[in-house]
Chain A
Amino acid sequence: NAGVTQTPKFRILKIGQSMTLQCTQDMNHNYMYWYRQDPGMGLKLIYYSVGAGITDKGEVPNGYNVSRSTTEDFPLRLELAAPSQTSVYFCASSLAGSGKTQYFGPGTRLLVL
């Protein structure tokens, strides 16, 4: 049982490039989330999904896209990377309903130059 896994661990992008951050969970959780954490700040919700085929915007969705074709996977797509997207990205998952505890992956550190 690996929990929540994220790839890559670290990536450098040039301005205008695109990439996909991968997230997989093996706990059969319905709910999945993407957060970003900027230095000295808390985690801000980018997108979330309550089940396969269902996604919705969080607090800071601009510049990102997501899809959820399976229960296990929740990739985050960055189109036209900008320096403002330099951050650490965390994926998380939780049980549906009253299971509020979210379980986090190790994070992807992204640097946009």
Chain B
Amino acid sequence: DQQVKQNSPSLSVQEGRISILNCDYTNSMFDYFLWYKKYPAEGPTFLISISSIKDKNEDGRFTVFLNKSAKHLSLHIVPSQPGDSAVYFCAASPHSGGSNYKLTFGKGTLLTVNP
């Protein structure tokens, strides 16, 4: 039972255009969400996060949008750069309870930004 779903295994965009990566979740207890970026042969690195009390969080070229009613979040990268080419993982965590530090990860989306 996949609680965090990234339904697009891959995405290809042109340099300078917008990249939109999507993530859906099924567990209503999730209320903190993170995006990680992973290059080949490296560990995932934290990119941006959002709490359920917000519907948008922005950090430079990266913006995460959260739609709680749809249990959907998206990561926008504008403008996309070739160095953004990587696998992007969506992760989620419940706010409270004994497991509020545990993350559940999606399968990832491979983003390729073409020059």
Chain A residues with a Cβ under 8 A of chain B: 4, 31, 40-45, 48, 50, 58, 90, 92, 94, 96, 98-107
Contacts and interface: CB of A to CB of B under 8 A. Distances in A.
Interface of B: 4, 9, 32, 34, 36, 41-46, 49, 89, 93, 100-103, 105-108
Nearest to B106: A42
Contact of B34 (A58, A101, A105, A107): A101
Given A42-B105, A102-B103, A107 B49 contact: no
B44 A104 contact: yes
Contact of B43 (A4, A50, A99): A4
B93 A100 contact: yes
Contacts of A44: 105
A90 B34 CA distance: 17
A100 B36 CA distance: 13
A103 B46 contact: yes
